[in-house]
Amino acid sequence: MMRSTLFLLCLIVAATAAAAPEHSPRPGGIAIVDVGTSKLPKPSVHYDSKPALVLRNLDRWNAVVGIPLDTQPGAISLLVNGIEMDVTVTDHAYAEQRLTVKNQSHVTPDQAQLDRIGRERKIIDSALNRFREVPVEGISLAPPVDGPRSSSFGLRRFFNDQPRSPHKGMDIAASTGTPIKAPRDGIVTATGDYFFNGNTVIVDHGQGYVTMYCHMSEIAVAEGQPVATGEILGAVGATGRVTGPHLHFGTYLNGTAVDPAVVLITPESPR
Ligand SMILES: [Zn+2]
């Protein structure tokens, strides 16, 4: 009895350690920075003129800042209550990926499609940059679908040999119709059928922490709807610019795409 209780305790400690995202100050990573005692009011933190997430960690305030993929290694400056604080960004080499896409219009859109893409970009950017001032506890996420995760975040992509922006999410392999679950509580801030992303849902988890789900076969939620952890957002599909069914899962902090692998709890961990 005693032994099994001890074993269980060890498991819980290990799971907690695995679930705590680490300071990963690389392009596409997350800087977790001590910004003072929580005996004082929560400081305001900005990076690149955008407000950043600040959460309580025991008796300290921690800023949790997404680092853009195109950041050069070296010092970046946060503004903490208006005072500069430097963070050193390390180098990270992302791989290259070459894809062949059959639908040529998804590679070289015509003017009407470019207009549509521009309109959709505004809606998506607005949802990704939303900042709702609510307390946020930790940044760990439960997996939105079970399935093999690719390590594709940050890939420098070429579609039919034409360079495109780097891959800003994680692709999780799953068959069409697999339910997609909210990885934590939030509010749905955008839904739509977009040119590149197909059927898409964007969820605001507070203080600029935002998740995005693309290429869905169906959408089960509406804009403005609160969702709880585990609630069904829709189903995996192959809509938009894809080569087959999968979930494109994006995680954003201060309007910046960060590697979902940093915040996803591992499948082995209890949820
Ligand atoms: Zn993707």
pLDDT digits (tens, 9 = 90+) for 27-49: 999 999 999 999 999 999 999 99
Helices then strands, counting H and E runs in the chain, come out as: 3, 20
pLDDT band at 18 (very low <50, low <70, confident <90, very high): very low
CA of 168 from ligand 1 middle (Å) equals: 7
Find the 101 Cα to ligand 1 centroid distance in Å.
14
**Ligand 1 midpoint to CA 241 (Å):** 9
Euclidean distance between CA atoms 79 and 143, whole angstroms: 32
Q: All domains of the chain, ordered by start, with CATH?
A: 2-89 (2.60.40.1590), 96-263 (2.70.70.10)
Q: Determine the distance separating the centroid of ligand 1 and the alpha carbon of 247, expressed in angstroms.
A: 7
Q: Average model confidence (pLDDT) for the chain?
A: 89
**pLDDT at residue number 106:** 66
DSSP states of 211-234: EEEEEESEE---TT-EE-TT-EEE
Which residue type does 171 have?
A: D
- Residue 189 and residue 181: Cα distance in Å, rounded? 16
Which residues, other chains included, contact 162 with Cβ-Cβ below 8 Å and sequence gap of 6+? 107, 108
Ligand 1 mean position, distance from CA 169 (Å): 6
Q: What are phi and psi of 265, to 5 degrees?
A: -70, 150
* Distance between Cα 248 and ligand 1 center (Å): 4
- Mean pLDDT within 10-20: 42
Ion ligand 1 contact residues with beta carbon within 5 A:
169, 171, 248
CA distance 135 to 13: 25
| pLDDT 10s digits, 68-125 | 999 999 999 999 999 999 999 999 989 988 878 777 666 778 999 999 999 999 999 9
Q: Tell me the CA–centroid distance for residue 238 and ligand 1, in Å.
A: 11
Q: Which residue has the tokens 């040119």?
A: 195
pLDDT band at 15 (very low <50, low <70, confident <90, very high): very low
